[in-house]
């Protein structure tokens, strides 16, 4: 795995709807810009060797970084894969939709739910939204949120941007009734 760069974003909301948010709502994202392990090979039928060589190392690299950047216990989380124009969306999906990748984050966040994800093919500087959901109960609506991310110089055509996002709370000033009130 060749990592060109790691980018960390921390977002802290202090006011929402004209009211203070106390404590501030924190969200963190850590992305790694890596060489696409299948770049230049044409159509690759069996992605397993690339998954085995890359996915677990990526999860091990990113999970502790995003938890540390957040600086508070993780309550919501998500993941992303943005594939450069010479790759396939399946290349990003292959790396993030495996327990070899996701279990590192689940363990670090003490989570049990599936990680929501975004994946797409795009050029450098594309904006993407990482969806987040609660770490143990995906039906908790206050934690359904997203964070916008952009890496100005990535992905190059032969790269993939792989990211993890974490929030220490639900949406600031959330007021929706629990899902159970509608069932």
Q: Stretch 11-24: mean pLDDT, rounded?
A: 97
User: Which pLDDT tens digit goes with each residue over 99-158?
Assistant: 999 999 999 999 999 999 999 999 999 999 999 999 999 889 999 999 999 999 999 999
Supply the pLDDT for residue 156: 98
Supply the pLDDT for residue 11: 98
Supply the pLDDT for residue 183: 74
Cα separation of 51 and 103, whole Å?
14
Give the structural domain span for 145.
Answer: 3-182
CATH number, domain with residue 93: 3.30.1330.110
pTM of the model: 0.95
User: Which pLDDT tens digit goes with each residue over 34-71?
Assistant: 999 999 899 999 999 999 999 999 999 999 999 999 99
- 108 closest CA partner among 138, 70, 74, 153: 74
Please state the domain count of the chain. Answer: 1
Confidence check: pLDDT of 176 > 90: no
């Amino acid at each position: 795995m060749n990592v060109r760069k790691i980018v960390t974003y921390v977002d802290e909301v202090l006011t929402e709807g004209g009211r203070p948010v106390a404590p501030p709502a924190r969200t963190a994202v850590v992305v790694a810009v890596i060489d696409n392990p299948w770049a230049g090979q044409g159509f690759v039928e069996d992605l397993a060797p690339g998954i085995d060589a890359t996915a677990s190392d990526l999860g091990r690299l990113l999970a502790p970084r995003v938890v540390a950047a957040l600086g508070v216990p993780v309550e919501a989380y998500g993941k992303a894969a943005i594939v450069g124009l010479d790759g396939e969306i399946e290349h990003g999906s292959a790396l993030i939709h495996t327990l070899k990748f996701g279990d590192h984050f689940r363990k670090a966040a003490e989570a049990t739910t599936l990680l929501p994800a975004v994946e797409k093919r795009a050029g450098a500087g594309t904006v993407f939204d990482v969806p987040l959901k609660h770490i143990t109960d995906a039906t908790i609506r206050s934690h359904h949120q997203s964070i916008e991310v952009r890496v100005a110089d990535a992905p190059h055509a032969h790269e993939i941007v792989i990211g993890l996002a974490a929030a220490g709370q639900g949406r600031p000033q959330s007021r929706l009734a629990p899902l159970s009130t509608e069932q």
